[in-house]
Amino acid sequence: MIMKDKLKQTLIEQRETILQKQIGIERTILKYIEKKAKLPHVVVLTGLRRSGKSTLLRQLIKKQYNDKDFYYVNFEDERLFNFKAEDFNIIYETLVELFGEKKTFFIDEIQNITNFESFVRRFYDMGFKFFITGSSAKLLSKEIGTKLTGRHVDIVVKPFSFEEFLIFRNFKLDKQALFMTNIRVEIKKYFAEFLISGGMPEYIQYNDTEILTRVYGDIVIKDIVVRYKVDNVKELKELYQYLITTISQRFSYNSLKKFIKINSANTIKKYIDYLEETYFVSQVSKFDYSLKRQIINDKKIYVVDNGFISMISTNLTKDNGWLLENLVFTKLKNSKEVFYFSGKSECDFVAVENKIVKEAVQVCWNLTQTNRERELNGLLEAMDKFKLKTGLILTDDQEEEIEINKKRIIVKPVWKWLLE
């Protein structure tokens, strides 16, 4: 157990660090968090490492607690690595000694403490308010679910959206001015940057690829290898690199054995699940009304932020179409369940709400004479299947409307769609 004097020093330094942290731009999700903060529930912010969870805590500390009426603990600090949940009273007593009695805890990376949910539940029952962050979907949902069922609100924090990226770049977006040529030119310039660099806040601030390399390395080593005691680190990394290099391409766990030196499809599935639990990737299934067939059909994979694709992928050919498709997926997934559709032809995405397919979306860099028939056929087949009157084709910079057999197909640039 950490010595009391060392604990005091740690907690004082952590408080100073969070108070000195830049406020940053106000995230779109902040208003939603503030609304949920009025409930007595534990507010759980999950999401990818370095995607802005701590900055959101900083914004809440300032706006809701005037930088005064709160306790802050960061369990990513190596000085607290051997801390045990049953010793939490010592931290609480130390916080009271240092800062007086408060009723609100802000806790970063809480999943690093085994059985953390016990002390959260105990203090919650005593009337304390909690804002906690974590970078593992499975650990948080599993552990919080055991002790805090119905008493917590889960919110996923993601990298900057394109609109937030524009705000960060000090571009004042006037949606009424989108039709002005000079405004469109400037937005397209920023979109070209966003498509490649993505929206990880620190990376776009400092433009240093080491930031993304470090985030990815921490995910693989700290969140997966160490936590799940993975022995075959080399094979694990090769699998992840292959998947990121072939985003949007169909695969089965068995088919991956041809390319990766892992002989067990179950091990491959387990390794991919680990990566998905960190919010780094999402697996997408073929749409089927049968859950069993959804499970056994080929998958596709997409990455949470485009910046990582450019950094990790070993694909030597420049294919911005994949980046465009990945970006569309991340936007769709914010509000809907997303599948790909495959019949005689293929449609990139069908978006589902309340078990009903609401949208069919095709993505291509340019709609040309060469690919036009293929792209339209895949979209129209999905529209027929799900009785949709309108379909969407998203491109880099084309815009038109097509009517076929009384069905309306809207073609528009991804940048414009993202800002709607």
pTM for this prediction: 0.94
Last residue of a domain, one of 270, 291, 317: 317
- Supply the CATH number for residue 398's domain: 3.40.91.50
Token pair belonging to 295:
């499970």
Window from 83-92, 155-164, 227-236 with minimum mean pLDDT: 83-92
Token pair 């056994």 is found at 296
Last residue of a domain, one of 195, 219, 251: 195
CB 200 within 8 A of CB 303: no
Owning domain of residue 238: 208-317
- Positive/negative CA dihedral, 90, 91, 95, 98: positive
Residues 52 and 148 in one domain: yes
Taking CA atoms, 29 is separated from 57, 68, 109, 185, in Å, by: 12, 23, 19, 28
Q: Residue 13: inside a domain, yes or no?
A: yes
CA distance 194 to 198: 5
Q: Name the residue with higher pLDDT: 409 or 138.
A: 409
CA distance 125 to 105: 14
Residues 30 and 122 in one domain: yes
pLDDT at 214: 97
Among 71, 76, 202, 85, CA closest to 134: 76
Q: Name the residue with higher pLDDT: 65 or 319.
A: 65
CA distance 142 to 117: 10
Q: Residue 46: inside a domain, yes or no?
A: yes
Q: Residue 271: inside a domain, yes or no?
A: yes
Residues 20 and 111 in one domain: yes
- Supply the CATH number for residue 214's domain: 1.10.10
Amino acid letter for position 118:
S
Q: How many domains does the chain have?
A: 4
The two most distant CA atoms of the chain are separated, in Å, by 76
Average pLDDT over residues 382-395: 98
pLDDT at 301: 98
Residues 284 and 332 in one domain: no
Q: Which residues contact 131 (CB under 8 A, 6 or more apart)?
A: 37, 42, 43, 45, 57, 60, 104, 105, 106, 107
Residues 184 and 291 in one domain: no
pLDDT at 3: 85
- Supply the CATH number for residue 10's domain: 3.40.50.300
Residue 320 has pLDDT above 80, yes or no: yes
Residues 42 and 148 in one domain: yes
CA distance 297 to 341: 11
Residue 402 has pLDDT above 70, yes or no: yes
Residues 326 and 304 in one domain: no
The pLDDT tens digits for 151-204 are 899 999 999 999 999 999 999 887 777 778 888 999 999 999 999 999 999 999
Q: Which residues contact 395 (CB under 8 A, 6 or more apart)?
A: 324, 363, 364, 365, 366, 367, 411, 412, 413, 414
Taking CA atoms, 74 is separated from 79, 105, 107, 112, 241, in Å, by: 10, 11, 6, 10, 31
Over pLDDT 90: what percentage of the chain?
Answer: 82
Which helix or strand (DSSP H or E) is residue 243 part of? helix 233-245
Residues 149 and 56 in one domain: yes
SS3 182: helix
Residues 145 and 244 in one domain: no
CA distance 307 to 265: 29
Window from 77-81, 126-130, 396-400 with minimum mean pLDDT: 77-81
- Edge to edge, what strands does the sheet with 71-74 contain? 71-74, 104-108, 129-134, 42-47, 152-157
Taking CA atoms, 136 is separated from 44, 107, 232, 280, 413, in Å, by: 11, 15, 21, 10, 34
CB 52 within 8 A of CB 201: yes
Q: Which residues contact 297 (CB under 8 A, 6 or more apart)?
A: 285, 286, 288
The pLDDT tens digits for 94-141 are 999 999 999 999 999 888 888 888 889 999 999 999 999 988 876 666
| Total residues found in the chain within this entry | 420
Q: Residue 200: inside a domain, yes or no?
A: no
CA distance 109 to 134: 4
First to last CA, the chain: 53
Average pLDDT over residues 254-265: 94
pLDDT at 363: 98
Residues 18 and 122 in one domain: yes
The pLDDT tens digits for 237-248 are 999 999 999 999
Residue 147 has pLDDT above 80, yes or no: no
Q: Residue 309: inside a domain, yes or no?
A: yes
What's the gap between Cα 201 and its chain centre? 13
Token pair belonging to 394:
């998203």
Amino acid letter for position 247:
I
Q: Residue 203: inside a domain, yes or no?
A: no
**Mean of per-residue pLDDT scores for the chain:** 93
Q: Residue 342: inside a domain, yes or no?
A: yes
pLDDT band at 316 (very low <50, low <70, confident <90, very high): low
CA distance 1 to 87: 8
Residues 227 and 345 in one domain: no
pLDDT at 317: 64
Average pLDDT over residues 304-314: 94
Residues 330 and 384 in one domain: yes
Q: Residue 275: inside a domain, yes or no?
A: yes
